[in-house]
Amino acid sequence: MTEARLQSLDITNFRSIRGSVHAPLDAKVVLIHGENGAGKTSLLSAIELALTGRVIALERADPGYAHQLLQRGAPTGSVKLKATGLPDRNNFETLLTPGGFTTPAMLPADLTSFFSERCYLPQALLGQLLQIYQDSDSAPDSPLARFVTELLGLDRLDAIETGLEAVADLRNLRKTTAVYPQVESEKQRLDRQISDHQQARAAAQRALTAALAEMNAAWVVLGQSTQLAEEDIAGLVERLGHSLEETAAAPLVDQKRTIASMRRSAAEGGGTEAADEAGLAAAHNAATERLARWSDEHRAALMRVAERAAKLLPNLVASPSDAKAWHDEVAGQLTEALRQARARSERASTDAARKITLAAELEVERKNLATLDAEIARISENAGSLAEILSEVSAFLTNDICPVCDRNYADLDKGSLVDHVHTKVGQLSGSAERLLALGRNRSTQLEQVDRLVREDAMLVARALKSEEAADLQRRTSELEGVVAEIARLAAPIALWTEMAAAEAKARRALSEHQVRNTSRASIGAMLRNMASALGLEVLDPLRPVNDIMVDLDKLIDKQLADLNAKGAARRAIVDMRSQAEMQLTRRRNLDSLIAQDQAQQRLHDAALKRAAAIRIDGQVIKSTVEAVRARIIVREFNDRLNRLWRDLFIRLAPTEPFVPAFQIPTEATQKLKPKLVTRHRLGGSGGTPGAMLSAGNLNTAALTLFIALHLTVTPQLPWLILDDPVQSMDDVHIAHFAALLRTLSKEHNRQVIVAVHDRQLFEYLRLELSPAFEDDSLLTLELTRNSTRDTDLLPKWFRYKKEAVLRFAA
């Protein structure tokens, strides 16, 4: 690459060059001279156009410059450049038309950038070079950033830093992968679900504890000393056994009735003895006939109802022979069964209606969710970034000409372009805020849909099958019919009760009359036998009968109360056992669900912890890379670029006390924000170069900065092309500049091409840069106009010649 040289340039109708010219370039130093407007800048611009496909200085001045490159009035034009030593190609051509130009082949992108920024300094950019680098931002493609990367080889560090940019902010990290927000959302859902399950389990545990407490209270009433625990619930029915309280209470009730009868017999005494036995018998017969007539009229209906009731109540104990007891028991049980059946039917109807409304609600919520998703999709996620870009662009708007498309916004008659951009920035900022609000609304909508889905699953789980619903409806109908029939039999059964009581009373009066004479003698013996059976001491035969009956009544009442309490306790245990089993099953199911959710929760926690650890590692790596990058940049800027720039500037301006330099921040940062300053040679800092240097020294600073940038990096193209670089320089500066060019050409092996318009300066540089050794060469090109105003180019070569006259004279 160090042997690459420009060989020749053929130009036809390009800019101010009219006609065709051939410019040889095969020399180490090429000096170009011509009056203003002769075509010096056009010749150098032609080299840039052929090699890079663009003319940067013209592009900065007019984005539509391509239409102005062809010489006015010419149908076509061209630029042909030949070179040697380039890796891919050495012949370049650009074709010019009134509509623009085409460059079929040019330098690769890296060499194009190097040529534009390190090899060619147009006259228009000389006064702007310092400002360009001063205003260069920290973007990766800025001129200064490309120079730093090329100088220091920071490509890998920049790639690491760019790749780890998202780890600084968790919100940006979420955007880099779809899995991270999914894991976070699933973790939050599991947390809520576990909390709901735990609350439900706590409620089930409280209900189970309350049921066990009631069961233990009843267990003590049954005479048990041990406490029931959860594990005792399953075998509790076997431990309770069969209910003996009713069997044990029957003889006691009979004995109580016998004592009451004895008391009445003893109280009635002699009045009953005088009664007429025939009258008592007639009363009994009349009562019996009334019962027979009632039976003929109502017994068949009663038996039909009893048969239907027996089918509906398989556990019915009462017999229709005792119509009153049967009626009371059957009416209560049937009423309760009907209430339960209606409750189940009503709940099934309510669930069915709720399922319909729930489906409608779920459809509405899902449509709302789809609407939110559609609205989120319509809003660009990059609205905030686009708003920032437009906000920055608005700072460069000075009129209604769009800097992007070059159209005049005033043609639309919609106000000024600045107002339009500011309005658009406001709308985009609002879109970003709207996107955040829609994200929060979508999370709420997802929770609502999830709640409705769970409610729908619960309704489906407890919904009755069609067979069950039909059976329930049929049973409800049958219950209603039987209850109605029993209600109609209430009055006849009440009449039967009165007639049966009258018959029993008449029969008892007749019987008592018949046995009274023998019963008094036997009452004492019966009472003593009864007392012995109940566990009382042997009674005194001389004790009054009424006293004995009072003691026996009290004993029987106490035993009956104990039996009733045990029976109630047994029934309470049976009832609470079902409740306890239901809550125990519910708790076990919830424990299983909690265990499953916690297992998933641990997996998501572990994943999020691993992600957090990776993010921390990325932040550490990013911080380390930033620190290393900052140290390298500071060291290289101070030790290489600033030092070389200082040496070149002092060489051209030896009397200037202030020397320009780049001031680089010392803290670790990815953003490269150099500041152009000046430093006094004796120490201390000054202001910016524009404030401290004269116009000539400002040009000298820009020129030496360009040469320093060229020399600091590896010379991918060993060319240095300068367009009228000695503006505002005095003779001393020019002399030092000529010496610098000689050094660049002779010692650094650079092909130097310099264009000047001053004739005396041209002659002076021709003498200073004359060949001084073998293989050294100088080529001068003079641009003029002929009589037809076409451009003429006169080349002249200068080769090294030994000065024989001086040698012999010596």
pLDDT grade for 24, boundaries at 50, 70 and 90: very high
Greatest mean pLDDT among 248-252, 340-344, 388-392, 773-777 lies in: 773-777
Greatest mean pLDDT among 465-469, 525-529, 573-577, 599-603 lies in: 599-603
**Mean pLDDT of the region 697-718:** 84
**What is the per-residue pLDDT across 208-221, written as a single tens digit (0 to 9) for each?**
888 778 877 777 77
97: β partners? 100
680: β partners? 658
Contact call for residues 5 and 68 (beta carbons, < 8 A):
no
Contact call for residues 417 and 402 (beta carbons, < 8 A):
yes
- In order of 14, 18, 75, 99, 737, the CA distances from 70 in angstroms are 5, 9, 8, 9, 35
Read off the pTM: 0.47
Contact call for residues 434 and 379 (beta carbons, < 8 A):
yes
**What is the per-residue pLDDT across 536-594, written as a single tens digit (0 to 9) for each?**
665 555 455 666 777 777 777 777 777 777 777 777 777 777 778 888 888 889 899 89
**What is the per-residue pLDDT across 137-168, written as a single tens digit (0 to 9) for each?**
445 555 555 555 555 556 676 677 777 777 77
**Mean pLDDT of the region 759-769:** 89
What is the DSSP code (8-state) at residue 416?
-
Query: Could you tell me what percent of the chain has a pLDDT over 70?
Result: 77
φ, ψ (nearest 5 deg) of residue 64: -100, 30
**Strands across the sheet containing 751-756:** 120-121, 719-723, 751-756, 29-34, 777-785, 791-799
The answer on pLDDT for 17 being more than 80 is yes
pLDDT grade for 272, boundaries at 50, 70 and 90: very low
The answer on pLDDT for 448 being more than 90 is no
Range from 387-401, 469-483, 674-688, 741-755 carrying the lowest mean pLDDT:
387-401
Give me the pLDDT at residue 43, please: 92
Give me the pLDDT at residue 809, please: 47
Query: How far apart, in Å, do the first and last CA atoms of the chain sit?
Result: 42
Give me the pLDDT at residue 794, please: 93
Give me the pLDDT at residue 419, please: 74
Averaged pLDDT score across all residues of the chain? 77
Give me the pLDDT at residue 536, please: 61
675: β partners? 663
Contacts of 772 (CB under 8 A, 6+ apart): 746, 800
Query: Could you tell me what percent of the chain has a pLDDT over 90?
Result: 11
Range from 163-177, 234-248, 608-622 carrying the lowest mean pLDDT:
234-248
Range from 446-455, 523-532, 560-569, 724-733 carrying the lowest mean pLDDT:
523-532
Among candidates 800, 644, 629, 627, which has minimal Cα distance to 712?
644
Give me the pLDDT at residue 288, please: 84
**What is the per-residue pLDDT across 604-629, written as a single tens digit (0 to 9) for each?**
888 888 888 887 887 788 788 777 77
The answer on pLDDT for 16 being more than 80 is yes
For the packed helices 545-636 and 490-534, what is the interaxial angle rounded to 10 degrees? 100
Among candidates 592, 574, 567, 588, which has minimal Cα distance to 233?
574
Higher-confidence position of 269 and 465 = 465
pLDDT grade for 350, boundaries at 50, 70 and 90: confident
Give me the pLDDT at residue 381, please: 55
Give me the pLDDT at residue 673, please: 61
The answer on pLDDT for 342 being more than 70 is yes
Contact call for residues 617 and 677 (beta carbons, < 8 A):
no
Give me the pLDDT at residue 174, please: 73
Among candidates 748, 803, 725, 794, which has minimal Cα distance to 771?
803
**What is the per-residue pLDDT across 118-143, written as a single tens digit (0 to 9) for each?**
898 888 777 777 777 666 544 555 55
Interatomic CA distance for residues 382 and 453, integer angstroms: 34
Higher-confidence position of 543 and 206 = 206
Contact call for residues 686 and 705 (beta carbons, < 8 A):
no
**What is the per-residue pLDDT across 378-414, written as a single tens digit (0 to 9) for each?**
765 555 566 667 666 766 677 777 777 777 777 777 7
Range from 94-98, 113-117, 241-245, 496-500 carrying the lowest mean pLDDT:
241-245
Range from 26-30, 192-196, 365-369, 477-481 carrying the lowest mean pLDDT:
477-481
Chain centroid offset of residue 317 CA = 66
**What is the per-residue pLDDT across 387-396, written as a single tens digit (0 to 9) for each?**
667 666 766 6
**Mean pLDDT of the region 749-767:** 90
The b/e string for 460-496 (b: 16+ C-beta within 10 A; e otherwise) is: eeeebeeeebeebeebbebbeebbebbeebeebbeeb
Q: 174: how many CB neighbours lie within 10 A of its CB? A: 15
